[in-house]
């Protein structure tokens, strides 16, 4: 019999959850509010929360100074391209690890995940030289490949976890019906793991969208995404907080909207196989 939860406990849990959620969301809220202030109001002491003169001047200045849509398009191509390429590589790799017996599978997964612990600056110099030699510096193709390789361990690890929840007998039945390896992956395995694949894609789009180290060091102007767009408002003359907040709001707005509309799918995928 399920244990009954008292009304008081529900109220306390709900209040605690909302408090933690608001604490996490507050920096974003403050950034959005600051983007509608003047520069003087942005640095006012004590800080102004709502009692200020709302203005769209910062957004007008940002759009006039920078081509926001160009930076946005670069971010879409880089984040989407790296995630799509990584998923295409990771699905067969995760299938092999999940359904082909091997004693070293866990060791390979741990080794792949350990590469995420390497400081990115440790490999910046060789990758920078390779990009110069191949003519990939300040190119979207180069960033797509680099971000795909950076996030590939996470993609493989997540897909491996989802694939392990699928009974191997289903794939064996498909083989007995004459399905080839390609048909087994495309028409049997992939549709059954759609929630897990969707959540993996969403998470890696967010990671690629927010990546700053590689995008700032491997681009100049032509392929610069929104991370470079934000960084351009930090100048030697000083920080213009209101304009920087407006640029930040424009940069995070698309990914916030995507996360808001896909939150159910993301939660469903992250809990895929957790309850049997």
pLDDT in tens, 66-90: 888 999 999 999 999 999 999 999 9
Number of domains in the chain: 1
Domain assignment present for 252: no
Beta bridge partners of 239: 234
Domain assignment present for 26: no
Tokens at 225, concatenated: 């995404």
The pLDDT value given to residue 235: 63
The pLDDT value given to residue 269: 59
Give the structural domain span for 212.
66-232
DSSP 222: T
Tokens at 74, concatenated: 């670069």
Domain assignment present for 59: no
- Mean pLDDT of the region 142-153: 93
Domain assignment present for 145: yes
Nearest to 89 by CA among 100, 81, 79, 78: 81
3-state secondary structure of 245: helix
pLDDT at residue 2 above 80? no
Q: Which stretches within the chain are classed as H helix? A: 7-34, 39-42, 57-65, 68-99, 105-114, 124-134, 140-163, 168-176, 181-183, 190-192, 194-210, 213-218, 226-231, 241-261, 263-270
Q: How would residue 231 be classed by pLDDT, with cut points 50, 70 and 90?
A: confident
The pLDDT value given to residue 16: 93
pLDDT at residue 267 above 50? yes
Handedness of CA 223, 227, 228, 229 (dihedral sign): positive
The pLDDT value given to residue 275: 43
Domain assignment present for 191: yes
Q: Which one is predicted more confidently, 181 or 136?
A: 136
28-45 pLDDT, tens digit per residue, is 999 999 999 988 888 888
pLDDT at residue 164 above 50? yes
3-state secondary structure of 234: strand
98-129 pLDDT, tens digit per residue, is 887 677 888 888 888 888 888 888 889 999 99
Domain assignment present for 254: no
CATH number for the domain harbouring residue 74: 1.10.3720.10
Domain assignment present for 246: no
Domain assignment present for 273: no
Q: How would residue 15 be classed by pLDDT, with cut points 50, 70 and 90?
A: very high
- Mean pLDDT of the region 53-60: 89
């Amino acid at each position: 019999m399920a244990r009954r939860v008292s009304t008081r406990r529900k109220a306390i849990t709900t209040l605690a959850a909302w408090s933690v959620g608001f604490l996490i969301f507050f920096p974003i809220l403050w950034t959005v509010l600051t983007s509608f202030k003047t520069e003087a109001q942005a640095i006012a002491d004590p800080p102004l929360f709502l009692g200020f003169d709302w203005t769209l001047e910062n957004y007008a200045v940002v759009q006039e100074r920078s081509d926001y849509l160009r930076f946005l398009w670069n971010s879409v191509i880089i984040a989407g391209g790296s995630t799509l390429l990584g998923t295409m590589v990771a699905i067969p790799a995760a299938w092999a690890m999940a359904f082909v017996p091997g004693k070293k599978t866990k060791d390979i997964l741990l080794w792949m995940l350990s590469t995420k612990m390497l400081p990115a600056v440790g490999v910046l110099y060789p990758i920078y030289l390779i990009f110069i030699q191949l003519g990939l510096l300040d190119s979207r193709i180069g960033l797509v490949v680099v971000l795909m390789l950076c996030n590939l361990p996470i993609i493989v690890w997540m897909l491996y976890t989802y694939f392990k929840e699928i009974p191997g007998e289903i794939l064996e039945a498909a083989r007995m019906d004459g399905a080839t390896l390609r048909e087994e992956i495309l028409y049997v395995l992939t549709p059954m793991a759609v929630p897990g694949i969707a959540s993996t894609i969403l998470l890696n789009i967010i990671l690629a969208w927010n990546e700053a180290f590689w995008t700032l060091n491997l681009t100049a102007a032509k392929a610069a995404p929104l991370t470079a767009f934000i960084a351009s408002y930090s100048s030697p003359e000083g920080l213009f907080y209101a304009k920087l907040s407006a640029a930040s709001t424009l940069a995070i707005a698309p990914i916030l909207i995507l996360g808001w509309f896909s939150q159910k799918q993301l939660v469903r995928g992250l809990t895929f196989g957790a309850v049997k």
